[in-house]
Amino acid sequence: MTILKNHDTKGVAFVDDAKLTARHVNVFYGDKQAIFDVSLDVGANEVIALIGPSGCGKSTFLRCLNRMNDTIDRCQVQGDILLDGEPIYDGSMDVVPLRARVGMVFQKPNPFPKSIYDNVAYGPRLHGLATTRVELDAIVEYSLQRAGLWNEVKDRLDAPGTGLSGGQQQRLCIARTIAVDPEVILMDEPCSALDPIATAKIEELIDELRENYTIAIVTHSMQQAARVSQRTAYFHMGQLVEVNPTEQMFTTPEHTLTEAYITGRFG
Amino acid sequence: MTDSSLSTRQKVERSLARRRATETRFHALGFMAVLFGLLSVVVLFGDILLKGSSTFRQTVIVTDIHLDAQFLGLTPRSKEAHIRRADFEGLIRQQLHAAMPTMTEDEARELHRLISIGAAWQLSDWVVENPQHLNQTIRFELLADHLVDQWFKHDRRKGISQRLSDVQLSWLHEWADSGQMYTRFNRLFFTHGDSQEPELAGVRGAMMGTFLTLMVTLVLSFPIGIATAIYLEQFAPARQWINLVEININNLAAVPSITFGLLGLAIFINLFGVTRSTPLIGGLVLTLMALPTIIISARAAIKSVPLSIQEAAYGLGASKVQVVFHHVLPLALPGMLTGTILAMAQALGATAPLLLIGMVAFVVDVPNAISDPSTVLPVQIFLWADSPERAFIERTSGAILVLLGFLISMNTLAVLLRQRIERRR
């Protein structure tokens, strides 16, 4: 790999009030290395966009942040990732509460084949967040309202979640994630299966959610990265090439690869 | 290629004709295959129905019986055991004799042969129920012997007779013409176990045996099979020995069923001392046979559960067991049920392994527990098909019909269950 000398990331990868801290992260799928020595901070209440060409490792890196890669056999993560200063790959950190604190929204809307209500209530029930039906109802309503879905579905909470449109399904998935009251929300190309109007709604939502949550979003769309994020990280072939404030990244990129990518010369 | 003067369009059109012909041929072949299959089923079912449906009718001879308390040595207050010991057979003979006083002794013997020995205990049963009718004259349907039964049902109209003498035939014609002899629903066939006398032989014993055996099989193989499938699909590490287990399970599904019988004989009976000929040992052996089918279908069902659903649950902080029980199992259940029913249907028809563990025994009593000696429907069919008596051949078809009935009701149940589960989602 001759992209970066000593995996030296350009720009500013570290912030003062880091929510998530990744240091020297290497990820292997069996013998194949997917991530090379990536160090990156995700600041509190910011939206950070992870961009880069297909297969660059941005999704793999995202999935390291709440240990979703644990479910994949042969996937091995090295290095340190800390949530509020606590190492998450340490033996002392249980993966169940970690995922309650670091929620995830996936590329394809994946509501459970249950009612809309049960979809949102699943997480709170799992973690015992509500003791009474009234409390649970309140969590469901609040989550759906935060996801901007309440007015559309309040009269049919018993209808199956799979019966909604694609955009509504994705907002239902966001509501489901919010219902657990996480600190960080990871989004893995949440709009790639949606039409432009649904995408606009989700982007608006991401902007609102920033008040309360720290968000890391993987996206293929550079316009989306520019619209929703404060910082942008550019990945290339498993390496973190450049991290900078989004505006600076899209106007004056430091690395030639970043420039080539955002000007559309490849990717 | 050969004719360059043709335009591309003409070439396409020429190949189109060829393609259409292929399609038509393929269509016709497929249709014929389906037709052939349907025809085979119709012929098979038709033949069995034709041969077997007469099993469900039984010939009886109705006659007046004077319940002579003195002859029987009974009083209206006699105990049940006492009544059962009374000589009802003698009473029936005496009464028939009284109706035809001019008979010789030889003729009397021939007359008695027309009545089944079951008639006497049917009468004693009736008297146990109705002791107040002692010393009265009642009309009673006497069970006809199987030779009479076969003659009346099949040979009378054709004017032939088998193993019946002229004097017997003359009585039979008289009874048939006077309406004294007729057929009624053969309840015995469904309430009795096996018997040496065809007219007394029923499938109740085999049905109960089959039911109990299948229950044992289901109770053992369903949880074990599902648990194995879940472990292999969701929990097992990707190790060499797991691969070995997988290969072995797939191979077991193709092992001839008689081998499982041998295994059962060697392990369960000889090593662990399980009693032979019981639904328990039958169920154990059939469990071995059903497990590979259940495991393979259950694994396929688990594999078909979308990974995205599981990831969603993991992402919310569900533990592995929670993901399995909240999402994987409910979504895989219909497929698992289908596989289980398939395995049960296979077990229902299994004969060979059961022969080896003693379920081929002649069992008269209807089993009531999994530790009672019993036989199962396919083995009963096998036993009857081996008998020379015409009446048993008829009963073979009858038993096949019962077996098919069992199968159809099981499959219907499975389909209904599956639909219910799928609708709930």
Judge if B49 and B71 occupy the same domain. Answer: no
Judge if B178 and B229 occupy the same domain. Answer: no
Judge if B34 and B63 occupy the same domain. Answer: no
Measured in angstroms, the CA of B325 and the nearest CA of chain A are apart by 12
pLDDT band at A2 (very low <50, low <70, confident <90, very high): low
pLDDT band at B3 (very low <50, low <70, confident <90, very high): low
Euclidean distance between CA atoms A111 and A174, whole angstroms: 10
Which residue range is the domain that position B33 belongs to? 8-53
Burial class (CB in 10 A: 0-12, 13-18, 19+), A29: middle
Per-residue pLDDT, averaged over B121-149, amounts to: 90
Asked if the A5-262 domain carries CATH number 3.40.50.300, the reply is: yes
Q: Report strand pairing: A32-43 vs A47-51.
A: unpaired
- DSSP assignment, residue A254? S
Task: Indicate yes or no: CB of B317 within 8 angstroms of CB of A113.
Answer: no
Judge if B212 and B293 occupy the same domain. Answer: yes
Per residue in A62-89, pLDDT tens? 999 999 988 787 888 999 999 998 899 8
Q: Which chain A residues are closer than 8 Å to B332 by Cβ?
A: none
Per residue in B35-87, pLDDT tens? 999 999 999 999 989 888 899 999 999 998 898 888 888 888 888 888 888 88
Euclidean distance between CA atoms B279 and A115, whole angstroms: 44
Of A184-188, B88-92, B109-113, highest mean pLDDT:
A184-188
Whether the per-residue pLDDT at B425 is higher than 80: the answer is: no
The CATH number given to whatever domain includes residue B359 is: 1.10.3720.10
Task: Indicate yes or no: CB of B238 within 8 angstroms of CB of A73.
Answer: yes
Per residue in A24-63, pLDDT tens? 999 999 899 999 999 999 999 999 999 999 888 899 999 9
In a domain, B70, yes or no: yes
Range in A221-225, B77-81, B276-280 the model is least confident about: B77-81
Judge if B144 and B219 occupy the same domain. Answer: no
Partner-chain residue, chosen from B238, B308, B322, that has the shortest CB–CB distance to A110: B308
Backbone angles phi, psi at A235, to 5 degrees: -100, 145
Judge if B179 and B277 occupy the same domain. Answer: no
Per residue in B336-370, pLDDT tens? 988 998 899 989 988 899 998 888 888 888 898 89
Q: Which chain A residues are closer than 8 Å to B317 by Cβ?
A: 96-100, 123, 126-127, 180
CA distances from B410 to B200, B343, B344, B351, B380 (A): 28, 11, 9, 18, 20
Question: Closest residue of B to A176, CA-based?
Answer: B316
Q: What is the 3-state secondary structure (H, E, C) of chain B?
A: CCCCCCCHHHHHHHHHHHHHHHHHHHHHHHHHHHHHHHHHHHHHHHHHHHHHHHHHEEEEEEEEEECCHHHHCCCCCCCHHHHHHCCHHHHHHHHHHHHCCCCCHHHHHHHHHCECCHHHHHHHHHHHHCHHHCCCEEEEEEEECHHHHHHHHHHCCCCCCCCCCHHHHHHHHHHHHHCCEEEEECCHHHHCCCCCCHHHCCCHHHHHHHHHHHHHHHHHHHHHHHHHHHHHHHHCCCCHHHHHHHHHHHHHCCCCHHHHHHHHHHHHHHHCCCCCCCHHHHHHHHHHHHHHHHHHHHHHHHHCCCHHHHHHHHHCCCCHHHHHHHHHHHHHHHHHHHHHHHHHHHHHHCCHHHHHCCCCCCCCCCCCCCCCCCCCHHHHHHHHHCCCCHHHHHHHHHHHHHHHHHHHHHHHHHHHHHHHHHHHC
Res B295: pLDDT: 95
CB proximity B318 to A under 8 Å: yes
- Among B148, B169, B197, residue at a domain's last position: B197
Task: Indicate yes or no: CB of B238 within 8 angstroms of CB of A104.
Answer: no
Average pLDDT, chain A: 90
Whether the per-residue pLDDT at B179 is higher than 80: the answer is: yes
Per residue in A128-151, pLDDT tens? 998 999 999 999 999 999 888 999
Judge if B60 and B127 occupy the same domain. Answer: yes
Res B156: pLDDT: 85
pLDDT band at A1 (very low <50, low <70, confident <90, very high): very low
- Among B150, B179, B197, residue at a domain's last position: B197
- The residue behind tokens 């369903």 is B222
In a domain, B1, yes or no: no
Task: Indicate yes or no: CB of B310 within 8 angstroms of CB of A71.
Answer: yes
Q: How far apart are the first and last CA of chain A?
A: 18
Residue of B361, B371, B410 lying closest to B206 (CA atoms):
B361
Per residue in B192-231, pLDDT tens? 999 988 999 999 999 999 999 999 999 999 999 999 999 9
Q: What is the ipTM of this complex?
A: 0.89
Number of domains in chain B: 3
pLDDT band at A188 (very low <50, low <70, confident <90, very high): very high
Task: Indicate yes or no: CB of B315 within 8 angstroms of CB of A66.
Answer: yes
- Residue A23 host element (H or E): strand A18-29
Whether the per-residue pLDDT at A8 is higher than 80: the answer is: no
Whether the per-residue pLDDT at B105 is higher than 80: the answer is: yes
In a domain, B91, yes or no: yes
Res B213: pLDDT: 95
In a domain, B60, yes or no: yes
Buried-state track B187-216, b at ≥16 Cβ within 10 A, e below 16: ebbeebbbbeebbbbbbbbbbbbbbbbbeb
In a domain, B271, yes or no: yes
Euclidean distance between CA atoms B118 and B192, whole angstroms: 11
Which residue, among B309, B311, B316, B333, would best test binding to A if mutated, counting the most A CBs under 10 Å from its CB? B316
In a domain, B3, yes or no: no
Partner-chain residue, chosen from B310, B311, B318, that has the shortest CB–CB distance to A126: B318
Partner-chain residue, chosen from A73, A108, A112, that has the shortest CB–CB distance to B327: A112
Judge if B392 and B245 occupy the same domain. Answer: yes
Higher-confidence residue of B112 and A91: namely B112
CB proximity B240 to A under 8 Å: no
Res B84: pLDDT: 87
Q: Which chain B residues are closer than 8 Å to A99 by Cβ?
A: 314-317
Q: Which chain B residues are closer than 8 Å to A115 by Cβ?
A: none
- Among B165, B197, B229, residue at a domain's last position: B197
